[in-house]
Amino acid sequence: MSSREAQLKKLLELTSSLSANNDAASAPAEPVAPRQRSDLNADILNQILGPDEAELMKEAMTVIMHPQATLENKEIAFDNLEMLIENLDNANNIKNLGLWPPLLSNLSSPEPSLRLAACGVIGTAVQNNEKSQNSCLEHDGLAKVIDVLQNDDDNGVRVKAVYAVSSIIRNNNQALKTFGDNNGWKALASTLDGSTNMARKGVFLISALLLQDEGSEIALEQVKSLRLADKAVSLVEKNADDEDMVEKLLMLVKVALEKDGSALDAASKEKLRSLVPGLEQQYETGFFTEGEWKDFKVLIA
């Protein structure tokens, strides 16, 4: 039995157990009601019919929302749900199955692991998937994820929220507009003041938005308004020994300046000019070629 099959088998066993518990004692009503399976054997059902993935998605949400399920089992159910919605059809089926409301409700769970898992499932469901992006928007999902990004007190959850935001807004003009309408840019700018990992994710997303075929002018306007390229320069010196971080920061500056020379103020350009010789020496065989370093120097001259 593969690890995937083992996980799905355990999910069926969990929901069967929870259904049995419901029969033994009255439990609160579920947002997605468990299906009674007392007359079915999960192994026989899988062997004869194979698991119905829509049903498995509902079963996963049943466990996630069930008040008697342990935190560990809820986390397992989230793992299974994310695995299932990696399939495009299953991701699009979240709306048809009525799973967006309970999924989004977990963004306000008291358990950080469940808030993180919810962000992960959202990000996976909508990534490069306009239909699911729009479904998420219809349920006010982006505004809820932005709130997590801005206000959650758990660093890991905020980092995962960057992933969810990125998946929702990239290559979707309506989502990018909604992002701006809900103070998303300020929330994204706040990631540059967070942990190194969070700032790394935030910087990468800002650069990606600047490079989009559509919507890049909105991104440039916000980069200039919030002085994000200047902020990137201030982070270069602090992270000078982190090659990946330096590359992402300089790439943000480079892309912004190529679009508009005023994206960086005079003081930041002067600071960069003082840093570049050392960075070029330190990373001479790294992310920029000799010619690219020369071009970069012209941009900050």
Q: Are 67 and 164 in the same domain?
A: yes
Mean pLDDT of the 117-122 span: 98
| CB-facing half-sphere around the CA of 180: CA atoms within 13 A | 17
Count the domains in the chain.
2
**Of 124, 150, 178, which closes a domain?**
178
Residue 224 belongs to domain spanning: 183-300
Q: CB-side exposure of 301: number of CA atoms within 13 Å? A: 7
Answer whether residue 35 is part of any domain: no
- When pLDDT is averaged across residues 214-219 and rounded to a whole number, the result is 93
Q: What is the distance between the alpha carbons of residues 79 and 240, in angstroms, rounded to a whole number?
A: 36
pLDDT, average across residues 183-201: 96
| 235 assigned to some structural domain | yes
Q: Which two tokens stand for residue 113?
A: 């692991």
**pLDDT value at residue 5:** 55
What is the per-residue pLDDT for 181? Answer: 97
Does 188 lie in the same domain as 167?
Answer: no
Predicted local distance difference test score (pLDDT) of residue 269: 97
The answer as to whether 5 is a domain residue is: no
Residue 29 has what pLDDT? 47
Q: Is the pLDDT of residue 217 over 90?
A: yes
Give per-residue pLDDT as tens, 65-83: 999 999 999 999 999 999 9
Above 50 in pLDDT, residue 191?
A: yes
Assigned domain for 39 exists:
no
Residue 33 lies in a domain: no
Quote the pLDDT of residue 32: 47
| CATH code of the domain containing 108 | 1.25.10.10
Say if 100 falls within a structural domain.
yes
Query: 152 near 198, Cβ under 8 Å?
Result: no
Residue 116 has pLDDT above 90, yes or no: yes
In this prediction, residue 86 carries a pLDDT of 97
- Residue 8 belongs to some domain of the structure: no
Percent residues over pLDDT 90 in the chain: 81
Instruction: Specify whether 229 is located in the same domain as 292.
Output: yes
The CA distance from 284 to 276, in Å, is 11
- pLDDT tens-digit map of 226-280: 999 999 999 999 999 999 999 999 999 999 999 999 999 999 999 999 999 999 9
Q: Please tell me whether residues 59 and 171 are part of one structural domain.
A: yes
pLDDT recorded at residue 286: 86
Q: Write down which residue in 178, 208, 231 finishes a domain.
A: 178
What pLDDT, in 10s, does the model give residues 92-106? 999 999 999 999 999
Instruction: Say if residue 252 is in the same domain as residue 223.
Output: yes
* End residue of a domain, out of 127, 156, 178: 178
Rounded Cα distance between 216 and 207, Å, is 10
Q: Are residues 228 and 252 in the same domain?
A: yes
What pTM was estimated for this model as a whole?
0.84
pLDDT value, residue 232: 97
Let me know if residue 18 belongs to a domain.
no
Same domain, 191 and 99: no
